[in-house]
Amino acid sequence: MSWIVLVVSGILEAVWATALGKSDGLTKLWPSVIFFVGLAASMFGLAFAMRDIATGTAYAVWVGIGAALTIVWAMITGDSEISWLRILLLMGLVGCIVGLKLIDPGHK
């Protein structure tokens, strides 16, 4: 269950990061609301997951999912260029996230 919550929290990190970028310095109402709600939900999920997943692993996976999805969304929406090198680097990041999940010993 903790891993599912962590993945959802990582997705929410991408949501709040994207909303923060669209909020124009927290001056636009709806992107700012999405930012704060997404941030709170993402942090609560991360905290929940850290009860069963080692802190370093949970944080790295959370950040990695958020970063990867934020970049993918930017490429889809045209805010960032699409290149084979960028895709290759994202695949490496995702591979590292999966690897961390596979070797995580959890809390002892």
- The token pair at 21 is 């970028």
Is 41 in a helix, a strand, or coil?
Answer: helix
Whole-number pLDDT of residue 108: 59
Residue written as tokens 């903790």? 2
Report the predicted TM-score, pTM, of the whole model to 2 decimal places.
Answer: 0.91
Structure-block tokens of residue 85 = 């090198």
- Residue whose token pair is 């950040």: 63
8 Å CB contact between 21 and 61:
no
The gap from C-alpha 48 to its chain's centroid, in whole angstroms, comes to 15
The pLDDT assigned to 18 comes to: 97
pLDDT at residue 95 is higher than 70: yes
DSSP state of 28: S
What residues does each domain of the chain span? Answer: 2-103
